[in-house]
Structure 1
Amino acid sequence: MATSKTLTRSAPAQAKRGQHPGISLAVIATTQLMVVLDITIVNIALPHISTALRFTPTSLSWVLNAYTLTFGGLLLLGGRIGDILGRRPTLMTGVLIFSLASLLGGLATASWMLLASRALQGIGGAIASPTAFALIATNFKEGPERNRAFGVYAAVAGAGGAIGLLLGGMLTSWLSWRWVFFVNVPIGLALAALAPLYINDSERHPGRFDLPGALSATLGMVSLVYGFIRAADKGWSDTWTLVSFAVAVVLLVSFLMIESRTPQPITPLRLFRDRNRWGGYVMMLCLAAAMFGIFFFMTQFIQNILGFSPIRAGLGFLPMSASIIVAAQIAARLQTKFGARPFMVLGTVLVTLGAFWITQLDVHSTYAGGVLGPTMTFGYGMGCIFVPVMLTSVSGVAPQEAGAATGLLNTTQQVGGSLGLAILVTVFATAQRNQLKAGAGHANPNQAFVHGMTSAFEVAIAFTLLAFLMAVFVVRPQARGHAPMTPQDKTVHNR
């Protein structure tokens, strides 16, 4: 009798799964949108968060880094969890953790509370994001149906950054900075409720969790980033600065040793043997550093120096987001004709030009005359690079490692952005402090901020030039007409 009742109760749920592909895709795509959106939605609210919770200019960067470091560091582990324990329950768990963390972030009354919630958000995002991607293969038939689903997913993921900037401006202007976190709660609860009704689970694969590898890499990067930010406040000879760098070295060396000896490593080191692949990873690491700097400093410049409201600041970033999307579409269509490397070279040149242009800003600059040009130039450059780097990084990878290669590229982007931002913030704080000391009691805080920002972007140019060197001297030309990896290929063993 008990078995009969169980079957009766589960029958309606089973009937819904697979029969409403629109709802299934909406749940999967919205999950990814929520995770991607939270990388940028907080940027617009940074000046208000800084005032409310009394962040220093350097510690404010942790509002971004606490999320991106845990998200990027645990991304590959999140994909492996979905493979072993089932993707649907893993998705639900990640979404619920993300929602709880968002609620705690909105309720934060101290800086440490917000940073803890952001780290927890990153953990939830790392569990949910790779699982959502892999569930498309589970819920949509191979062929046109799956291709359409991937098209919607890619469009949502690509537009997430722009949507986050605009939505962050609207919520901060009309309600409060706290609502950039609260908005995730009802969405996350709805996704967790709909997932078991409309999403088919995946087959579970036996395997091991490389928890030591994931933790040593993540904690090592956290310690390294903390060392740079501590140095910005306390100096390079500070005891805790030196201790954090030493701990980072020990943890990161331990990570390499663990990965070289583990039967099922979270990061197969053999992926780095291909020069095109590791060149692409280095390019993404460097370019993400510059891109995170643009979002971090320019959102404050536009609001604090130009006097824009949060919603106007969000609208001010839309041309940059549009230029990324346009350039990415062009590069994707023409890559089979011209190959990947020309777009990498062109993209790194444009990104370098955009970063150099930003160094020319001063307190008298305007949005149209000083901000619009460099941000759009930077956006066109990044758009040229995204697709070629992604396809180069997974080209020639064994099917069972395609997910690891793609996930490693995403991890490189998040970790590179966090590490790069820490370095730029260190340069910014030092230059700003020196400017204020030079002016003594007559120093202009706005001029000191702009001086620190432009000094940081002089270092960002070094990052973009390194990416240019990778494109010219490391990445080898591929045969024209090389077919890009299909969406079906991308889903194979997504870990």
Structure 2
Amino acid sequence: MAEPDPRRWRALALLCAANFMVILDSQIVLLAVPSIRRDLGFAAGGAQWVLSAYLLGFGGLLLLGGRAADLAGRRRTFLAGTSLFLVASLACGLAWTGGLLVGARVLQGVSAALMAPSALSIVTATFGEGPERNRAIAVWGGVGGFGGTAALLVGGPLTDLLGWRAIFFLNVPIAVPLLVLGPLLLAESRGAARAYDPAGAVTVTLAVSAAVYGVDRGPEQGWTSPWTIGAFAVAVLAGAAFARIESRSAAPLVPLRTFRSRALTGGNAVTLAVTLAAATAVFGTSFAVSQYAQDVLGYSPLAFGFATAVLPVLAVAGSYAAQAALGRFAVRRIAVAALAVMAAGCLVLGQVRAGGGYAFGLLPGLALLGFGLGAAGVAGSVAALAGAGDGDAGLASGINTAAFQLGGAFGVAAASTAVLSWTDGTGAAALTRGFRGAFDVSAGIALAGALVAGVLLAAPARRTVPEPEPVRVK
């Protein structure tokens, strides 16, 4: 049996820094959009593409990025993605027109699609399955949860103090050490297969990108608009073509046997449910939360950032609590309990009032939501990666990250639709009703996620590694 890599914990710290950067960048622009719109002269609704462009590039290419890591080398893919991310971040910060910024954000998303699954697959290849890998994934999940929620903590204040360009230049002091230390701390690994599947890559990229576009633009353009319906139609047709191609390919991009693993399928379903609830409750309603805190409670952007600090802190605490519980309880119980805690947090947030305060309004709900988010993220990742062999670690990581991004896209759409539906005026009270409606919807999604976790992660999935075939005596 090979000795564990003595560099593995330092390597994990490096990879977690990359994960933090990728997740942070998917949300940090939320509170900077008004400033970007004013400075670059975006037309009404055009600044939304600063968010959508990253999501389209990231979500659309994640499966291809995960398989590329298995085939071309996980360290090589990770370093290539990080280099591209650094260039794209500089281009974002230096952009002088809206078109250049949107194009740079697409490039940023593409590079993130190379970085994220390759980094997570390096984690699974570096740590043997069992308590040590669970601990590593818990750290990974905790940092990811912190990155997503920290966007609310730093995005507004950074834009307020230094301007919107600073949120992109923030990536430079993170990416440069990754490129310097990566070759020293990360071991190269890859799967056994050495063939690509270009037809599968094109169809799955088209399917995911069309689905992300449809759910991202649906609330603004209307769910029955020709563009939205057309996007979903393209997603369905491309998805069907992808399944047909994969069933006949000698070297499929996504072997269909992957989805026969109940742990893998259940884990990603849990991840999807988690991110639906998280994005609906946190990311999708960030504008509404910001407006509630500033317009109703009178907070400045800086005060709003500090007020939401409880969310990332409790997300980290929840991830470590889940890691400790994994040695004593089944993943199913942890996932169900975590999603139930998230639902409770959403229900508490759904009680805020126009004349309410922070201590008895936002704080309890944010604390419950953050803790549940951290715990559920760990449970979903452990379940999703448990059934993947070393040769498919990049693919499994890509599927897991794609589920996260798709869940986020659907959550944002659900939140936007809920806010529009429940807001019936322009005053503080009307805004608060829209805010409450979005959190009530997210509570229902979290409870549905708990049901999914309870069903898909149920026994008989007791083993996570194959055992030798029994010897038959004739």
Q: What range describes the TM-score normalised by the shorter chain of this pair?
A: 0.7 to 0.9
Could you say which residue in structure 1 is the equivalent of 2:232?
Answer: 245
Of 196, 221, 225, the residue aligned with 2:208 is: 221
Question: 1:105-125 CA deviation, whole Å, 9 max, x = no partner?
Answer: 223445444333222111111
Return the offset for 1:176. Answer: 0.7
- Aligned match of 2:406: 415
Would the alpha carbon gap of residues 65 and 328 (structure 1) be closer, same or farther in structure 2, given more than 3 Å must change? same
Contact 1:105–1:114 (CA<8 Å) still a contact in 2? yes
* Pair 285,195 (structure 1): closer, same or farther in 2 beyond 3 Å: closer
Tell me how far 1:55 sits from its aligned partner.
6.5
Give 1:180 shift.
Answer: 0.4
1:294 equivalent in structure 2: 281
What is the aligned counterpart of 1:98 among 82, 85, 96?
85
Kindly provide the amino acid, as one letter, of the partner of residue 398 in structure 2: G
2:190–2:391 CA contact under 8 A, matched in 1: no
Alpha carbons of structure 1 residues 456 and 115: separation in structure 2 relative to 1, 3 Å: farther
Per-residue CA deviations over 1:130-155 (Å, capped at 9, x if unaligned) read 33445568899999999998887666
TM-score (norm 1): 0.78
Amino acid at match of 1:358: L
Which of residues 439, 442, 447 in structure 2 aligns to 1:460? 442
1:52, distance to aligned residue in structure 2 (A): 4.3
Q: Which residue of 2 aligns with 1:13?
A: none
Partner SS state of residue 425, structure 1: helix
Of residues 279, 288, 291, the one that matches 1:304 is 291
* Aligned positions of 1:97-136 closer than 5 A: 97-135=84-122
CA distance in 1, matches of 2:358, 2:43: 26
Structure number with bigger Rg: 1
Change in CA separation of 1:468 and 1:155 when aligned onto 2, cut-off 3 Å = closer
RMSD value over aligned CA atoms? Answer: 3.8
Which of 425, 428, 445 is the aligned partner of 2:416?
Answer: 425
Which of 310, 313, 325 in structure 2 is aligned with 1:322? 313
Aligned residues: 457
Q: Conserved in 2, the CA contact under 8 Å of 1:320 and 1:379?
A: yes
Provide the C-alpha distance between the structure 2 equivalents of 1:373 and 1:357, rounded to a whole number of angstroms: 7
| 1:376 counterpart (357, 367, 370) | 367
Kept in 1, the 8 Å contact 2:145–2:374? The answer is: no
Q: Using the TM superposition, give the Cα deviation of residue 179 of structure 1 relative to its aligned residue in structure 2, in angstroms.
A: 0.8
Residue 435 (structure 2) pairs with residue 450 (structure 1): no
1:32-74 Cα deviation digits (max 9, x unpaired): 3322332343344344345545668976655444323432332
Q: Distance in 2 between matches of 1:77 and 1:331?
A: 30
Unaligned runs of 5+ in 2: 466-474
Matches within 5 A, 1:68-217: 68-135=55-122, 156-157=143-144, 159-185=146-172, 187-189=174-176, 191-193=178-180, 195=182, 201-202=188-189, 207-217=194-204
For residues 292 and 129 of structure 2, the distance between their equivalents in structure 1, rounded to whole angstroms, comes to 52
Unmatched runs of 5 consecutive residues or more in structure 1 = 1-17, 437-442, 486-495
Offset of residue 247 of structure 1: 1.9
CA separation of 1:184 and 1:283: change in aligned 2, threshold 3 A: same
Distance in 1 (CA, whole Å) between partners of 2:176 and 2:275 is: 31
Q: Does the 8 Å contact 1:227/1:244 carry over to 2? A: yes
Cα distance in structure 1, aligned partners of 2:464 and 2:319: 14
1:470 alignment partner in structure 2: 452
- In the TM superposition, residue 175 of structure 1 has moved relative to its aligned partner by 0.4
Is 1:392–2:383 an aligned residue pair? Answer: yes
Take 2:421 and 2:76, find their aligned partners in 1: how far apart are those partners?
47
d(CA) in 2 for partners of 1:484, 1:66 = 37
